[in-house]
Structure 1
Amino acid sequence: MRLAVVSDIHGNLRALEAVHARIKESSPDIIVNLGDCVSGPLWPEETAQYLIAENWPTVRGNHDRVLIEPPVSGLDDIDAFTHRCLSGASLAWLSTLPTTLLLAPEILLCHGSPDSDETFLLEEDGGNHFYPSGEDQVRRKLGRADARLVLCGHTHTPRVVHLSDSQLILNPGSVGVQAFPGLTVTGSPHARFAIATRADGAWSFSQGMIGYDWTEASARAAAAGFVSWEHGLLTGFGAVSR
């Protein structure tokens, strides 16, 4: 069995198109999406329609949830921008997404953690950076989830964690945003994804990075007035204050 895993697209259609083209070369049995699909100053409506057409198993991210929860007036700038761009059909699709999804007894999809779309399952919040959680911390955040393979996103940080009882957790990183204001810095603008393969009862993983036209994405963010996204999309680093 071969799974392709994407997450945290954030409306970056150009990155999604590039990732999808590369994924198809691996001929996966299924492609799954771990949420935060459209929120961003790029192509939110176009990305929603692309995902609707593909119909991949998808769970709801924290930004997806905020877009469909009242009151709309409580949205932050990026979600308010996104909400204005989305059609009723796209908002309706977001509202149908589950918070978690069990593909089989062995495979659990979530955005943050099995219990919360805002929990950092594999990392701790250091104030202005992430640092890895210890095994006991990861187990606490997993709660009662006992799937052999747990797929999560949210932190935009590619990682595989192998717990001592052989439970595995994969974060594929972010398709669309490599430097998220505040915490995430990958250091390159390449779009991320992962391939998980099960053979002879064992899972193996490959983390993918693919180039796309990040200059176009950065320029689009700048034109929408989101300067913090402009630099991150272009470089994979946060903007330096001067």
Structure 2
Amino acid sequence: MKIAVVSDIHGNVLALEAVLADLKLEAPDVIVNLGDCVSGPLWPEETAAILRDTNWPTIRGNHDRIVLDDPIEKMGPTDAFTVERLSAASRDWLATTLPTIRLTDDVFLCHGTPDNDDRYLTEKVEGPKGHLPDEETLLAELKGEAAPVICCGHTHIPRVIPLQKTGQILLNPGSVGLPSYEDDHPHRHVMEAGSPHARYALMSNNGGAWNFQEKILTYDWDTAARQAEENGRLGWARSLRNGFYGPLS
């Protein structure tokens, strides 16, 4: 089985369209979406309209949950922008997403960690950036989840991490639509993929051995950056153009 794994589209319909075009060439058996689908100062409704028709197994990311559940006056600007533009049909679709999915006996899907959509699994924040955690930290965050392959998103940093003690593999495909961002939880930090490309991953099981391929795609990120600028989000524009968020100040 050939599985395509997408995550963290964040309303970037241009990046999503590039991924869809590549998926037609790759022809995977299954496509899964690890969440944070529409939140962003770009094209949330246009992105949702495409995703509504895909029938992909889809996880509810932390921003998806905020858009669905939080009052708009408590939202940050990214989620408030999104919720104001989503149609009823798109909200109804977003409400069908799930916190986690056990895709097969071998593959478990989550957004952050298996029990928390707002915790990093494959990054540990130390200082101003995220870093690869040690194996003990990773195992503690799994909370006993024993699937041979665990797919997660949330960090926007692509990773394939084999765990020596358990034989499990952690896959983070990176972000389709937002290569870097700044956050203040647990303290102020940035996550940076370092290039503006759209990313997703392919995985396949060949005779019991899992193989992985990172897909790194060019798309019209200048137009996406201009859209962010027009909507007053200069940090997003820098990220979309360069893959770096910019220095902390």
Supply the RMSD in Å over aligned alpha carbons.
1.2
- For 2:133, the equivalent position in structure 1 comes to 133
Distance 1:177 1:116 in 2: 21
User: Gaps spanning 5+ residues in structure 2: where?
Assistant: 183-188
Aligned to 1:167: 168
User: What amino acid is the match of 2:85?
Assistant: C
Q: 1:85 Cα deviation (Å)?
A: 0.8
Could you tell me which residue of structure 2 aligns to residue 183 of structure 1? 190
Correspondence for 2:201: 194
Letter in 1 for 2:177: G
Superposition deviation, residue 239 in structure 1: 2.7
SS in 2 for 1:193: strand
| Aligned pairs (5 A) from 1:17-96 | 17-96=17-96
Report Cα offsets for 1:29-57 as digits up to 9, x if no partner: 01100000000011100101100111111
CA distance in 1: counterparts of 2:248 and 2:202, whole angstroms = 37
Task: Tell me, in whole angstroms, the C-alpha distance in 2 between the residues paired with 1:126 and 1:36.
Answer: 24
For 2:205 and 2:15, the matched residues in 1 are separated by 26
In the other structure, the counterpart of 1:239 is 246
CA distance in 2 between partners of 1:112 and 1:136 (Å): 17
Q: Distance in 2 between matches of 1:102 and 1:69?
A: 24
2:229 counterpart residue number = 222
Task: Give the deviation of 1:240 after TM superposition.
Answer: 4.3
1:211 aligns with 2:212: no
Q: TM-score, normalising length from structure 2?
A: 0.94
Corresponding residue SS for 2:40: coil
TM-score by length of 1: 0.97
Aligned length: 242
Partner Cα distance (1:70, 1:159) in 2: 31
Percent identity of the aligned residues?
47
Gapped runs of 5+ residues in structure 1?
A: none
Distance (whole Å) between structure 2 residues aligned to residue 53 and residue 84 of structure 1: 21
Match of 2:6 in 1: 6
Note the C-alpha offset of 1:23: 2.0
Tell me how far 1:123 sits from its aligned partner.
1.2
Return the alpha-carbon distance in structure 1 between the equivalents of residues 127 and 6 of structure 2.
26
Work out the CA distance in 2 between the residues paired with 1:177 and 1:133: 22
Task: Give 2:199's aligned amino acid.
Answer: R
Give distance in 1, aligned partners of 2:40 and 2:229: 12
Which residue of the partner structure matches residue 157 of structure 1? 157
Q: 1:157 to 1:241 in 2, by over 3 A?
A: closer
SS of equivalent residue, structure 2 residue 236: helix
Q: In the TM superposition, what is the alpha-carbon distance from 1:25 to its structure 2 partner? A: 1.2
Cα distance in 1, alignment partners of residues 236 and 153 from structure 2: 19
Post-superposition offset of 1:127: 4.2
In structure 2, distance between residues paired with 1:204 and 1:166? 14
Deviations 1:75-99 (A, max 9, x none): 0011001111111111121122110
Counterpart code for 1:162: P
- TM superposition shift of 1:166: 1.3
Once the two structures are TM-superposed, the CA of residue 157 in structure 1 deviates from its matched residue by 0.4
